């Protein structure tokens, strides 16, 4: 199986998962924090089961030197998912996707500071294009307006981007499957400590109709992540894989217009998606 096929599967599944999240979260009774907790636990379980069946799930023999990075990973992914789900409850999936694309800039910026991987001229241009896309999609009349949903998406992108930089360090010591499993399940337990009252809302997702949607979403998202990392393992050029994965920005905007009828300011969304996609390619 080629890496091109695997990345195509990953992109399509990720784009579908964003639409499904929007469908679930726009319902009035849905609780973003409780949902993020439930979602992370389910995805972690799916990936853990898959890894147990098909891959090596052994952990590093000594986790002590990695303690602070693992703690940082847990906090960043916990709050990244809270911000993501709060955003998707308040804003359109297409708009969220474009603003959330800024995570690539935060990853490169953090890598420059912490891993001494400095930005090149083309990467600076890419960062400018990404933010141009964000400004364009949030431009109302002649004024820039960053609404609450977009602000949550931006905060989610910041947390996610920093987490990805931390991932690169930790993955030098971890196998892929146990690491991804831990990255989903550990934040769930942290959130139960920070937001214990949210546990009572988990029953909202145990109803037959909602549970089916969340289970479907969890499986789709899990296999999107697995496909992406499998493509990285097969390909001899990780930049090509990462760049190809960025097509989800445009695909999500198109699917949102087709299936969720999110067609308000469609031309600006498409233009913003294209700008962000080009910027992401330059950052890769």
Q: Helix, strand, or coil here: 139?
A: strand
In a domain, 275, yes or no: no
In a domain, 138, yes or no: no
Identify the band that residue 72 occupies on the pLDDT scale cut at 50, 70 and 90: very high
Identify the band that residue 34 occupies on the pLDDT scale cut at 50, 70 and 90: confident
207-221 mean pLDDT:
86
In a domain, 221, yes or no: yes
In a domain, 136, yes or no: no
160-196: pLDDT as tens digits: 888 888 887 887 888 889 999 999 999 999 999 988 9
pTM: 0.77
Please state, in angstroms and rounded to a whole number, the distance separating the CA atoms of residues 257 and 201. Answer: 31
58-68 mean pLDDT:
92
Q: Which domain holds residue 48?
A: 3-118+145-236
Identify the band that residue 219 occupies on the pLDDT scale cut at 50, 70 and 90: very high
pLDDT of residue 104: 72
- Measured in degrees and rounded to the nearest 5, phi and psi for residue 31 equal -115, 110
In a domain, 263, yes or no: no
Q: Helix, strand, or coil here: 138?
A: coil
Highest mean pLDDT among 153-162, 227-236, 256-265: 153-162
What separation in angstroms does the CA of 148 have from each of 10, 70, 83, 89, 227?
A: 29, 30, 11, 11, 32
Domain count along the chain: 1
């Amino acid at each position: 199986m080629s890496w091109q096929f695997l990345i195509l599967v990953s992109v399509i599944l990720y784009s579908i998962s964003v639409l499904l999240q929007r469908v679930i979260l726009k319902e009035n009774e849905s609780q973003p924090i409780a949902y993020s907790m439930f979602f992370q636990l389910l995805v972690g379980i799916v990936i853990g089961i898959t890894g147990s069946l098909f891959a090596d799930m052994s952990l590093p023999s000594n986790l002590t030197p990695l303690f602070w990075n693992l703690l940082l990973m847990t906090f960043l992914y916990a709050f990244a998912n809270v911000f993501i789900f709060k955003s998707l409850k308040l804003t359109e999936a297409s708009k969220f996707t474009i603003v959330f694309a800024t995570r690539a800039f935060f990853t490169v910026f953090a890598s420059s500071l912490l891993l001494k991987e400095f930005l090149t001229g083309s990467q600076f241009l890419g960062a400018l294009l990404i933010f141009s896309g964000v400004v364009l999609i949030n431009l109302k009349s002649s004024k820039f307006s960053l609404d609450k949903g977009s602000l949550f998406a931006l905060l989610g992108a910041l947390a996610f981007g920093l987490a990805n930089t931390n991932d690169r360090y930790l993955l030098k010591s971890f196998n892929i499957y146990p690491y991804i499993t831990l990255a989903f399940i550990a934040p769930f337990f942290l959130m139960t400590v920070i937001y214990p009252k949210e546990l009572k809302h988990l029953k909202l997702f145990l109803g037959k109709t909602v549970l089916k949607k969340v289970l479907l979403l969890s499986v789709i998202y899990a296999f999107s992540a697995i496909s992406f990392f499998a493509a990285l393992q097969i390909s001899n050029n990780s930049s090509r894989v990462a760049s190809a994965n960025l097509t989800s920005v445009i695909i999500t905007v198109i699917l949102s217009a087709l299936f969720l009828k999110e067609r308000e300011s469609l031309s600006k969304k498409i233009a913003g998606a294209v700008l962000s996609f080009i910027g992401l390619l330059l950052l890769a």
